[in-house]
A and B are shown apart, each in its own frame.
Chain A
Amino acid sequence: MTGKKILIVDDEPNIVLSLDYLVRRKGFVPLIARNGMEALSVANEHTPDLIILDIMMPDIDGYDVCQTIKSNPKFSHTKIIFLSAKSRPEDISKGLSMGADKYVTKPFSTKQLLVEIIELL
């Protein structure tokens, strides 16, 4: 399981900070992107195994990133977890309808998130 690449996409540096540490600690290779555009180019370059994706971002939002990734056969094995502060039921069902594998709301529990990540990989 170690060595798998996890792309962290969030425009909030302090959240990236915690996620980066968490992922690295468990032996995954973290990749960082601070907005949607960056996320797509990093993903293209490294083909991550999993993407932790924020929804509200300044340029391309998480929904679009998710759809773009999921519609590309190159990423057929790439899993996506939405990590968003949007917590209404309709937000969650919208996120899942975009093809994401999991939807975790902020503030999240590190342990829970880790369980979801391991489950997916």
Chain B
Amino acid sequence: MSGLIVLVIVAYLAMLFFVAYRIDASTRLRLRVANSPTIYALSLAVYCTAWTFFGSVGGASAYNIQFLTIYIGPVILMPFLWFIYRKFIRISRAQGISSLSDFIANRYDKSIGLNRLVAILLMLGIIPYIALQITGIDKAIETIVTNNGTEQNDWLSYVDTSFLVTLGLGYFIIIFTTKRFQEKEQNTGLVGAIALESIVKLIVFLFFGVYIVLYASDKPQLFADFDASKLKLNPNNDYGQWFGMIFLSALAFLFLPRQFELGVVTAANERKVKRAIWMFPIYLLLINLFVIPIAIVGNNMFAGHKMNPDMYMLSIPIHLNNGWMALLVLLGGFSAASGMIIVATHALSKMVSNAILMPSFINNRFVLNRFKDRNHKIPVFFRRLSIFVVLLLAYLYHKLVVADFTLISIGLVSFVAVAQFSPAILGGIFWKLGNKYGAIIGISLGFSVWLIFLIGPTILNLNVHGVFGTGHHSIRPEGDLITTVLFWSLLLNTLGYIAGSILTKQTALEQNQATLYVDIMNYSTEVDSGVVWKGTAFFPDIKSLLSRFLGERRVTAELNHFAQKQGINLEDQDELDSRLIGYSEKMLSPIVGASSAKILISSVVKEEKLSMEDVVNILEESQKIIAVNKELQQRTDELKRVSEALKLANFRMKENDLLKDEFLYTVTHEMRTPLTSIKALSELLSDEEDAMPEEIKKEFLNTILKESNRMTRLISQVLDLENFESGKHQLIIDKVDISELMQHCLQSLDGVFKQNNIQVCIDIEENLPDLEADHDRITQVVLNLLANAAKYCDKESGKVWVDISRIGSLLQVKIADNGPGVIPELREIIFEKFFQAKNQTMRKPKGSGLGLAISKKIIQLHEGKIGVNTNDPEGSVFTFSIPFTQNRD
């Protein structure tokens, strides 16, 4: 068993290494992970630690499901997360924020003192929490080993597994948070590994839950004595406590360093928050789904035994002799604990390094100069040192103090600790007047209360470790104590913050930072805004300073990028403008911390004291830059629109050109047909004049004549159309008697009708008024339509109908035939000139292909409409309608 445990944990750690390594090694993968909102949402589930994994069941076993409040809090917070996180993320990106303490210190005068205070207090608050996770792992392994029973002297019980596990995790943290240190760090590999851990712990919990429910449903006694009505979310009927817990956990979700790290610092963009808003609550729901059934089964299974309910998750499968399930649960618990240890240690180590170690190093000129050539290695070294220190302290705390606390209580103590930063942070982003002294006073007051009432007792009980067995619940910090301390500490904290802020004055820098924090949404993320600075600096100084900490290559690349974006030439400038100074500080900030960055920059810059007026001016300036930028953007958009329109116009012109070409081609093509006959026939005639029989000669000559007429007609029609289109043909409006016009047309086609045996039916409404129209043009249209009808009507017994009627102010002329009709697809395009040009395979029976196009043009010039429809049951009906009176001016 022990061998398997070691194997499983080592294999799991190896998998974490592998995943993180693969992500970091491939740019493509790194981008995908960094931009994935799902991975972001999953990584936030680092909120669920060993406390969730083992402790929830422990809590539920005592009929107290108050543990649920710590999930209700974040769920209630979710809808507001968009407003808060978006601000956090923007500020952090604009200012190069690397940690929670940086976020606070940067707002309040970039104060090193405050940065240090926050870092130290967070160490006090979080290290026990990390220790708790180590204890969780330790207890879990111990439970399996000692309850296994078969091997009384298991070798693993002599090995300090917690130490080895801590060592392994420390190595992981060092590899994946400090390796790519000089680059813009996002620690994507780490984020991916944490998201994976969230999946593992959830799946294991669900799997185990289903297993228990299935198992217990076979054994009714396991559910027997449980009185569901005894389950109480609020056992003492203390709504203050209930509300306090929810409030506390919401604050903890916002300000726990590990949450801030994954939710804000490494979040590349704010849009990802939207996914977390709905996904994270679902995660919480799922991981709590089986807590109560497991607790019930555990209580009944171990009734009368002395069994730590926190370990039911493990003792149940062991009791059932299911070793594999126990191992699986251990793995889930390990993933829950290790995720927290990794991220919390990483976040804390950044603070320790950037807020405590780095500023001391930088302030010490002697040391700084001594290591001048190795400056760039210092931040990495400090970071690694910090990781070691944090983990060592956590391990020691685990060994010396934690021992018998339930998992939940220490977590809650940590929650109360981080809650102390809420006035300074929330005040910092919503209240411009909040200042450094207010923050320091508030935080100090709040933490004093926390120390005295929550930590004090645990320290005092160090000596009575031995009598501190189960059952001494009174000594542990319980719910009511937690909420009481929370209330008083936060009250004093907030009052101190407000009073301190009102009673003392902000510096100019602070005022600037306050504006940036509170009004961040007004500042474009693109503009390198918020630089309040006046003085002189020289490019080589800045560059060598940056290179010392960031490496020459990256600095050159970044500065060139910046120069290009801002359109300035760096080499030309001896004296630098404030934008570059701000940018340099932002570059340094993630590596050495905001406060240290400020010290470093001011060491090479001759700064002048800023007056309040300067601050206002500079801020106005940057607002103006934003305005100018906006205007520029508008101009660009407008230009884009115009150029789009131009493109379209050009496209249309080309299309028109193409149509014209096509028209020309079709005209020449149409002319070629009669020309071909004429040419061939006349060649034959001239070649064989003598040998050719007389009647053939006659036929040929006749045909030549007909084809010549056809060509003449075509040419005049092309010219006609062209003249209509160019406007050369004007209508000659006159009074027209439409029935007389129709009779006239029918008469002229009488020969054709008779010759083809076509029956013509005429229906003309009586007493039609005279029509204002161009007599000759309308005649042209009517003739064209009649000729078409004659051409297309039934070959055997052709029929043509003519119908003229009045519809309101319109004259309607219908000419129908009983031919094959026009298929719907062609009803529009037969009115286009040479419509068959686009349908090369479809050729019209005979004619120029221009008749209908010309007719349409003429009707349009009369403000009328022309169209074709189906005759019932077959054949086609051509209809045109024109107003009786023409509006002429």
A contact set with B: CB distance below 8 Å: 11-12, 14-15, 17-19, 21-22, 25, 56-58, 61, 85-88, 106-111
Q: Which residue of B lies closest to A62 (CB)?
A: B841
For residue B684, CB closer than 8 A to chain A, the reply is yes
For residue B763, CB closer than 8 A to chain A, the reply is no
Instruction: State whether A107 and B679 are in contact (beta carbons under 8 Å apart), knowing that A14-B703, A14-B707, A85-B672 are contacts in the complex.
Output: yes
Rounded to whole angstroms, the CA-CA distance of A111 and B686 in the bound complex is 12
Choose one: A15, A18, A61, A85; the contact of B669 (CB below 8 Å). A85
For residue B843, CB closer than 8 A to chain A, the reply is yes
For residue B458, CB closer than 8 A to chain A, the reply is no
21 example contacts (A-B, Cβ-Cβ < 8 A) are as follows A11-B843, A12-B677, A14-B674, A14-B681, A15-B677, A17-B703, A18-B677, A19-B680, A22-B684, A56-B843, A57-B843, A58-B843, A58-B845, A61-B841, A85-B669, A85-B676, A86-B669, A106-B673, A107-B672, A109-B683, A110-B684
Q: Is the CB of B677 within 8 A of A14?
A: yes
Q: In the assembled complex, how far is the CB of residue A52 from the closest CB belonging to chain B, in whole angstroms?
A: 12
Q: Which residue of A lies closest to B687 (CB)?
A: A110
For residue B840, CB closer than 8 A to chain A, the reply is yes
B contact set with A: CB distance below 8 Å: 665, 669, 672-681, 683-684, 687-688, 696, 699-700, 703, 706-707, 840-843, 845
Q: Is the CB of A106 within 8 A of B676?
A: yes
Q: Is the CB of A61 within 8 A of B840?
A: yes
Q: Is the CB of A15 within 8 A of B840?
A: no
Chain A residues within 8 Å of B707, by CB: 14
Q: In the assembled complex, how far is the CB of residue A56 from the closest CB belonging to chain B, in whole angstroms?
A: 6
Q: In the assembled complex, how far is the CB of residue A10 from the closest CB belonging to chain B, in whole angstroms?
A: 9
Q: Is the CB of A12 within 8 A of B669?
A: no
Q: In the assembled complex, how far is the CB of residue A120 from the closest CB belonging to chain B, in whole angstroms?
A: 19
Chain B residues within 8 Å of A88, by CB: 665
Q: In the assembled complex, how far is the CB of residue B70 from the closest CB belonging to chain A, in whole angstroms?
A: 77
Q: In the assembled complex, how far is the CB of residue A39 from the closest CB belonging to chain B, in whole angstroms?
A: 14
Rounded to whole angstroms, the CA-CA distance of A34 and B105 in the bound complex is 94
Rounded to whole angstroms, the CA-CA distance of A7 and B14 in the bound complex is 83
Q: In the assembled complex, how far is the CB of residue B320 from the closest CB belonging to chain A, in whole angstroms?
A: 78
Chain B residues within 8 Å of A15, by CB: 673, 676-677, 680
| Ranked 5 nearest A-B pairs via Cβ | A18-B680, A14-B677, A107-B676, A85-B672, A106-B676
Q: Is the CB of B680 within 8 A of A22?
A: yes
Chain B residues within 8 Å of A58, by CB: 842-843, 845
Chain B residues within 8 Å of A17, by CB: 677, 681, 699-700, 703
Rounded to whole angstroms, the CA-CA distance of A21 and B669 in the bound complex is 24
Q: Which residue of A lies closest to B678 (CB)?
A: A107
Q: In the assembled complex, how far is the CB of residue A88 from the closest CB belonging to chain B, in whole angstroms?
A: 8
Q: Which residue of A lies closest to B674 (CB)?
A: A14
Instruction: State whether A18 and B681 are in contact (beta carbons under 8 Å apart), knowing that A58-B842, A58-B843, A110-B687 are contacts in the complex.
Output: yes
Interface centre among B683, B687, B700 (most CB of A within 10 A): B683
Rounded to whole angstroms, the CA-CA distance of A21 and B696 in the bound complex is 9
Chain B residues within 8 Å of A110, by CB: 680, 683-684, 687
Rounded to whole angstroms, the CA-CA distance of A111 and B679 in the bound complex is 12
Q: In the assembled complex, how far is the CB of residue B673 from the closest CB belonging to chain A, in whole angstroms?
A: 6
Chain A residues within 8 Å of B679, by CB: 107-109
Q: In the assembled complex, how far is the CB of residue B90 from the closest CB belonging to chain A, in whole angstroms?
A: 60
Q: In the assembled complex, how far is the CB of residue A83 from the closest CB belonging to chain B, in whole angstroms?
A: 9
Chain A residues within 8 Å of B676, by CB: 12, 15, 85, 106-108
Chain B residues within 8 Å of A108, by CB: 676, 679-680
Chain B residues within 8 Å of A19, by CB: 680
Chain B residues within 8 Å of A56, by CB: 840-841, 843
Name 9 extra pairs, CB < 8 A, besides A21-B696, A58-B845: A11-B843, A14-B677, A15-B673, A17-B700, A58-B842, A58-B843, A106-B672, A106-B673, A111-B687
Q: In the assembled complex, how far is the CB of residue B373 from the closest CB belonging to chain A, in whole angstroms?
A: 73
Rounded to whole angstroms, the CA-CA distance of A109 and B676 in the bound complex is 9
Q: Which residue of A lies closest to B680 (CB)?
A: A18
Instruction: State whether A107 and B680 are in contact (beta carbons under 8 Å apart), knowing that A12-B673, A14-B703, A85-B669 are contacts in the complex.
Output: yes
Rounded to whole angstroms, the CA-CA distance of A107 and B670 in the bound complex is 11
Rounded to whole angstroms, the CA-CA distance of A102 and B665 in the bound complex is 22
Rounded to whole angstroms, the CA-CA distance of A85 and B688 in the bound complex is 26
Rounded to whole angstroms, the CA-CA distance of A77 and B507 in the bound complex is 103
Chain A residues within 8 Å of B680, by CB: 15, 18-19, 22, 107-108, 110
Rounded to whole angstroms, the CA-CA distance of A85 and B687 in the bound complex is 24
Q: Which residue of B lies closest to A85 (CB)?
A: B672
Chain B residues within 8 Å of A61, by CB: 840-841
Chain A residues within 8 Å of B687, by CB: 110-111
Chain A residues within 8 Å of B703, by CB: 14, 17
Rounded to whole angstroms, the CA-CA distance of A86 and B673 in the bound complex is 11
Chain A residues within 8 Å of B842, by CB: 58
Q: Which residue of A lies closest to B696 (CB)?
A: A21
Rounded to whole angstroms, the CA-CA distance of A29 and B678 in the bound complex is 23
Rounded to whole angstroms, the CA-CA distance of A54 and B392 in the bound complex is 95
Q: Which residue of B lies closest to A16 (CB)?
A: B677
Q: Which residue of B lies closest to A105 (CB)?
A: B672
Chain B residues within 8 Å of A25, by CB: 684, 688
Q: Which residue of A lies closest to B691 (CB)?
A: A25
Chain A residues within 8 Å of B843, by CB: 11, 56-58
Chain A residues within 8 Å of B706, by CB: 14
Interface centre among B680, B681, B707, B845 (most CB of A within 10 A): B680
Q: In the assembled complex, how far is the CB of residue B807 from the closest CB belonging to chain A, in whole angstroms?
A: 37
Q: In the assembled complex, how far is the CB of residue A105 from the closest CB belonging to chain B, in whole angstroms?
A: 8
Rounded to whole angstroms, the CA-CA distance of A110 and B685 in the bound complex is 11
Chain A residues within 8 Å of B681, by CB: 14, 17-18
Q: In the assembled complex, how far is the CB of residue A114 from the closest CB belonging to chain B, in whole angstroms?
A: 10
Q: In the assembled complex, how far is the CB of residue A30 from the closest CB belonging to chain B, in whole angstroms?
A: 14
Chain B residues within 8 Å of A85, by CB: 669, 672-673, 676
Q: In the assembled complex, how far is the CB of residue B664 from the closest CB belonging to chain A, in whole angstroms?
A: 12
Q: In the assembled complex, how far is the CB of residue B265 from the closest CB belonging to chain A, in whole angstroms?
A: 64
Rounded to whole angstroms, the CA-CA distance of A57 and B845 in the bound complex is 10
Q: In the assembled complex, how far is the CB of residue A91 from the closest CB belonging to chain B, in whole angstroms?
A: 10
Q: In the assembled complex, how far is the CB of residue B584 from the closest CB belonging to chain A, in whole angstroms?
A: 64
Chain B residues within 8 Å of A12, by CB: 673, 676-677
Rounded to whole angstroms, the CA-CA distance of A58 and B839 in the bound complex is 10
Rounded to whole angstroms, the CA-CA distance of A106 and B688 in the bound complex is 21
Chain A residues within 8 Å of B678, by CB: 107
Q: Which residue of B lies closest to A57 (CB)?
A: B843
Chain A residues within 8 Å of B684, by CB: 18, 21-22, 25, 110
Q: Which residue of B lies closest to A55 (CB)?
A: B840
Q: In the assembled complex, how far is the CB of residue B767 from the closest CB belonging to chain A, in whole angstroms?
A: 45
Q: Which residue of A lies closest to B675 (CB)?
A: A107
Chain A residues within 8 Å of B699, by CB: 17
Rounded to whole angstroms, the CA-CA distance of A16 and B347 in the bound complex is 94
Q: Which residue of B lies closest to A60 (CB)?
A: B841
Chain B residues within 8 Å of A109, by CB: 679, 683
Rounded to whole angstroms, the CA-CA distance of A58 and B669 in the bound complex is 16
Rounded to whole angstroms, the CA-CA distance of A25 and B693 in the bound complex is 12
Q: Which residue of B lies closest to A113 (CB)?
A: B680
Chain B residues within 8 Å of A18, by CB: 677, 680-681, 684, 700
Rounded to whole angstroms, the CA-CA distance of A18 and B686 in the bound complex is 13
Q: In the assembled complex, how far is the CB of residue A36 from the closest CB belonging to chain B, in whole angstroms?
A: 9
Q: Is the CB of A111 within 8 A of B669?
A: no
Rounded to whole angstroms, the CA-CA distance of A14 and B673 in the bound complex is 9
Chain B residues within 8 Å of A21, by CB: 684, 696
Q: In the assembled complex, how far is the CB of residue A21 from the closest CB belonging to chain B, in whole angstroms?
A: 6
Q: Which residue of A lies closest to B672 (CB)?
A: A85
Chain B residues within 8 Å of A87, by CB: 672
Chain A residues within 8 Å of B683, by CB: 109-111
Rounded to whole angstroms, the CA-CA distance of A25 and B703 in the bound complex is 19
Rounded to whole angstroms, the CA-CA distance of A23 and B679 in the bound complex is 16
